[in-house]
Amino acid sequence: MARQEPVFEVFARIAPGDPMSHIGTLNAPGIELARVYAWRIYDEEDWAEMWVAPRDAIVSAHPDQAEAVSTEDGTP
């Protein structure tokens, strides 16, 4: 299993109405396992909602950015 697995971004909000926050990233071979991993790894809060999205599905809306979501935060 040496192949590089896709990166998923994890978003959540603690209570309904709170802003959705980006809470982390993870690697998974597909969306099914990404859902399981996200709920297991980022379990420090009693989240009202949690969402995962493949990083390469997130596109920039900023006119000066052509790339997909930034990786400058040091995440994989």
Residues that bind another protein (CB under 8 A): 1, 5, 26-30, 32-33, 35-37, 39-41, 43
- How many Cα neighbours within 13 Å face the side chain of 64? 0
First-residue to last-residue Cα distance in the chain: 17
Residue 51: CB minimum distance to another protein, A: 16
Q: Of 36 and 68, which has the nearer Cβ to another protein?
A: 36
Q: Closest approach of Cβ 59 to another protein, in Å? A: 25
DSSP 8-class letter at 68: B
Three-class secondary structure of residue 51 per DSSP: strand
Parallel, antiparallel or unpaired: strands 49-54 and 7-13: antiparallel
Minimum distance, C-beta of residue 6 to another protein, in the bound complex (Å): 12
Q: Which is nearer to another protein, 46 or 67 (CB)?
A: 46
